[in-house]
Amino acid sequence: MPHLKPIIYEMNYEKEIIDQDIIKEEDKKYILSYPTVYIVKDADKQLNYSVYVGETSDIKRRTIEHISVDSKERTDWRELADSKTSEMYIIGHEHFNKSMTLDIENKMMQYMASVDVVKKVNNRRTNQQNLYYSHDEMEKIFSKIWRKLRKFDKRLFPLERTIRDSALFKASPFHKLTDEQLDAKDRIMATIEANLTSKTNKGQLIVVEGDAGSGKTVLMSSLFYELNQLAKDESENPILRNTSQFLLINHDQQLKVYEEIAQKLEIFKLGKQETVLKPTRFINRYSEDNPVDVVIVDEAHLLLTQGKQSYTGQNQLNDLLKRARVVVAVFDKKQILSREQYWEPDQLDSLLADVEKQGNLISLKNQLRINAGRETIAWIRSLIDEQTVKPLPQNDEKNYEIKLFDSPAVLQKAIEDKARDENFGISRLLATFDWKYINGKKDGDHPWYVKIGDWQMPWNLQLPVDKVQKKQNKKLAWAEQPQTIGEVGSTFTIQGFDLNYAGVIIGPSVKYRNGRIVFDKAASENNKAKQRRSLKDGSKVDVSEEMLRNELNVLLSRGVNGLYLYAVDDELRAALKKGAVLNDRK
């Protein structure tokens, strides 16, 4: 009988050879002679796991190597080999070949690093494979493997949907990169290596630009992880061996995610120094006299371009270039949200022109977040970039769902229904920053609310939680926290993340007048967007229209499979509905 289902054996990891007696005769060929994937696990007293994921063409030989050789050279393997509670899963399949097992190993590492109870993932490579015979079977086979592993341990192997919803999964360095991302990564690596061979250079800037959802964050995560692996003592890359690299994150919610990923993959420390931290902390800690090798800045459009609080400089990017030999900056000027991050047009144009002249400007064009057809994406872009309301596309080729609502209450219910449906991922309500909110304070004796007529919901991060949930929430992004289905998120909690369905309340700062969308700063409560910006010549400029447009851009680009809209402005709501009606009549 052909083995169309995965074959999985669980055994103790105390012996120097595999216990072949428990393997059925009809399975031995697929376990002992075919390529296999294996997982070695061990739990501590708190039932948190350390895991190793691997693949091999000879599971017997590889197990002996791990226990007899690797355990003497590597602490992670010594801990697993010495433990009396460590176990191993050996996974076989009739359709396994070397390329597929490498692909499944990579995906298994991505999943394991995204599981809450996994505190350490031991492996030192990424194994993304290109096309190979039977590559189109891999995803289906992997899902069958995962479902079967759940029968052994539901805590270690939770539902796939739960994993895919997590911010850890979405920022994982083990995502399979697109051809565009791979080409960008190769160019960045080549530039880094070329620069590091010249011992006198510092301040080399590489800019990766692209719209929201173009895959910039995953590219940076993959790059950071690979640079860390190539920097290890045993690295075969003489240029990158023993180099230093840092990942800088300016967004509190994202910082939590990257810190946890780095801790699980044991790349969080370089000696006694953290490798994932905020830009200001990095600038204050490192000097111009002893530059580090590589700094990667995710969401570099959030870097400050004037002094603020603990940052006393004038431009964070300039300060980073003085402290690193290479700076890789992910940049999207359409996501600048604050006057403190605003670049004067001539400054930004000059910077990008210099970077492009050096061949260091990399543009990502693909849209990887929004699972929509071209016409739907163009419709969303026209709202933001052209400030026009066009007829809604009909019959999106990818079934992306755009719905318009006549009341915030009905929108709220629709998003709650999506959030409850186990067939869908995380869905949340969002709004433009048009209602007062002060972080860390209450509005008298109650939370700050988004209020429309007799409907209201609290702004983000205000609903009370018990001690257990509060502890769990420390490592979760806003949208992942279960109580936030009862809140409205802002750009400051959702930027850099995605949702399955985004319910967006377009507040009174966005209006429709004389056939165009206009931005009314008087109706906004976002002081960082509407207050005037001081320029280098001492003059002040009103940048509110650009900031409020960028705020709308961030919110409308969060939904992976759907965008639900309610507009407070009557004329905008009517224009959106008219576009939908015109479409229906075609």
Average pLDDT (336-365) is 91
The pLDDT of residue 321: 95
Residue type, 391: P
pLDDT exceeds cutoff 50 at 586 = no
Strand partners, 295: 246, 327
The pLDDT of residue 386: 96
473 in Cβ contact with 260 (< 8 Å) = no
d(Cα 468, Cα 351) in Å, to the nearest integer? 48
**Phi/psi zone of residue 134: left (φ > 0), alpha (ψ -120 to 50 degrees), beta?**
left
pLDDT exceeds cutoff 60 at 516 = yes
The pLDDT of residue 1: 43
State the average pLDDT for the chain: 91
pLDDT greater at residue 383 or residue 340: 383
d(Cα 470, Cα 491) in Å, to the nearest integer? 22
pLDDT exceeds cutoff 80 at 358 = yes
Q: How confident is the model at residue 584 (pLDDT cuts 50, 70, 90)?
A: low
Q: How confident is the model at residue 419 (pLDDT cuts 50, 70, 90)?
A: very high
d(Cα 68, Cα 73) in Å, to the nearest integer? 10
d(Cα 429, Cα 410) in Å, to the nearest integer? 12
Helix 98-112 × helix 138-150 angle, to 10°: 50
Average pLDDT (502-517) is 98
Average pLDDT (347-366) is 93
Q: How confident is the model at residue 580 (pLDDT cuts 50, 70, 90)?
A: confident
98 in Cβ contact with 57 (< 8 Å) = yes
Query: What are the helix (H) ranges across 329-439?
Result: 345-357, 374-381, 408-420
d(Cα 560, Cα 188) in Å, to the nearest integer? 28
The pLDDT of residue 304: 84
d(Cα 23, Cα 31) in Å, to the nearest integer? 8
d(Cα 377, Cα 169) in Å, to the nearest integer? 24
Average pLDDT (297-312) is 85
Q: How confident is the model at residue 91 (pLDDT cuts 50, 70, 90)?
A: very high
d(Cα 434, Cα 548) in Å, to the nearest integer? 10
Q: 83 phi and psi, to 5 degrees?
A: -70, 145
% of the chain residues with pLDDT over 70:
96
Which among 219, 89, 76, 218 has a CA at the least distance from the CA of 157?
A: 89
Element containing residue 105 per DSSP (H, E): helix 98-112
